Amino acid sequence: MSDPDADNAPSQNDTEQPHAGRPAGARQEPPASKGRRGGRAGQRQSKAWRVEDFAVPEKEGFTRFHDLDLPEPLMQAIADLGFEYCSPIQAEVLPHTLDGYDAVGKAQTGTGKTAAFLLAAMNELLQNPFEEERFLAEPRVVVLAPTRELVMQIAKDAVDLAKYTDLQVHTLVGGMDYGKQLQRMQSRVCDIVAATPGRLIDFISRGDISLGYVEVLVLDEADRMLDMGFLPQVRRVVRATPHREQRQTMLFSATFNYDVNVMIESWMVDPVRVEIEPESIAADSVDQRIYMVSSREKFKVLKNILASEEAGSVIIFANRRDQTRRLFERLQKAGVNCGMLSGEIAQHKRTRTLEQFKNGQIKVLVATDVAGRGIHIDDITHVVNYNLPEDPEDYVHRIGRTGRAGSKGISISLACEDDAFMLPDIEELLGQKLVCEQPPEVIEE
């Protein structure tokens, strides 16, 4: 769905406003909802657990989660997840967002930004429980992300971090049954909603959700949402929330173009800015290889890569849906057990394919950039760029699927006469020269 009047209709959230601090005043009155349910977000950590049981030594140059004065239920969940020290973006942004400040982060996926904004949001809810009666479909936190897979991954991370609290997490995504999502929304109080813009607009338009009590708004991968044409929907969502001085807003983006900067100026209040540059992401944990091949050789070289002993769990990226489908079908005919993720695949099939890939039933996944945006799996050994991406930022995103959680990974790009000209732009973004080489000897069919 789109808003044809969004570009011309002024609103309090679209115009620069003077800032005199974030008041704790009254919020917008939400419309009537279909049911009420009292209750507040509480803490229910294990009584036998104490922060003292989670010993993490101080380390020079590192910030411990202990140093952030987080509520005990969040610390217990962090301990369960095995987190000890903050990632760079967490260490830089959390001291500010935990105090309620708006924040802008320039970072790719794989840098820990999801936990950064979720911890800040959950801290707000736990430190300031809602004491009054609540409507069911009145979230206090809204996280917008461009793809279904990314929304579902954010929700999973939220559930893991909220394990020892009473915070309720909901997902609203297109391509899945609206009625079932509505039923879940009406079955229990909603604290955190992770959503794609279009589906959230559906709920707003039908009066099935009210954003009048939103205290924290997160716009994740803002540049990607703009690339996918979601700006009108994002505008409508922002307008449905309280004024920017009555909410905390966090925005994360890999790039900052004109429209992203307009978002920041219009919808945020003196945000703290944190930048994690791509070269720190595409670091030593990923062995980047560029194989110079002809377009006719690509498939044989790909099969050789998949047949190597070091290839365990492999994601192959293509640029378009039709390229992805043809490559998937060709690999299947060659006897490769593989799955496919692209926008043309029904959501329930994409979810099942991703689960099969995570649990090892499928070793090879062929994906487009959009469909692969929400893939967060720590043991991916290889990323293969069957086609070099047209946008250099996508190269950094793709290779960030491997070399995660302290493990080593390998990225292999098959550069042919059709796309090798894209390499200089990728090198400029990375700030490093990529060495081109001949592929290992191809195993003949």
CB contact set of 383 (below 8 Å; sequence gap of 6+): 314, 315, 316, 317, 398, 399, 401, 402, 409, 410, 411, 412
Contact assessment for residue 276 and residue 284, using Cβ atoms and an 8 Å cutoff: no
pLDDT at 406: 65
Alpha carbon distance, N-terminus to C-terminus of the chain: 48
pLDDT at 25: 34
pTM, whole model, 2 decimals? 0.68
Cα-only R_g, the chain: 23
Give the Cα separation of 135 and 35 in Å (integer). Answer: 6
| Partners of 436 in beta bridges | 290
pLDDT at 11: 35
Q: Where are the domains of the chain?
A: 36-276, 279-437
Assign 383 to helix, strand or coil: strand
pLDDT at 396: 83
Contacts 24+ apart (CB under 8 A), 417-424: 417/294, 417/295, 418/295, 418/387, 419/387, 419/388, 420/292, 420/388, 422/388, 422/389, 422/390, 422/392, 423/290, 423/388
pLDDT at 391: 85
Nearest-5° angle of CA 193, CA 4, CA 138? 20
CATH T-level fold of 36-276: Rossmann fold (3.40.50)
Give the Cα separation of 411 and 418 in Å (integer). Answer: 19
Instruction: Return the amino acid letter for 25.
Output: G
Q: Which pair of structure tokens corresponds to residue 91?
A: 């260490």
Give the Cα separation of 262 and 267 in Å (integer). Answer: 8
- Please tell me the CATH code under which domain 279-437 is placed: 3.40.50.300
Do the domains at 36-276 and 279-437 have one common CATH topology? yes
Instruction: Give me the average pLDDT of each 10-residue run along the chain (445 residues).
Output: 33 36 36 39 64 88 94 95 92 96 84 93 94 85 92 95 96 92 93 96 96 96 86 95 97 87 94 75 76 92 92 93 93 94 80 88 90 71 93 84 79 91 88 87 55
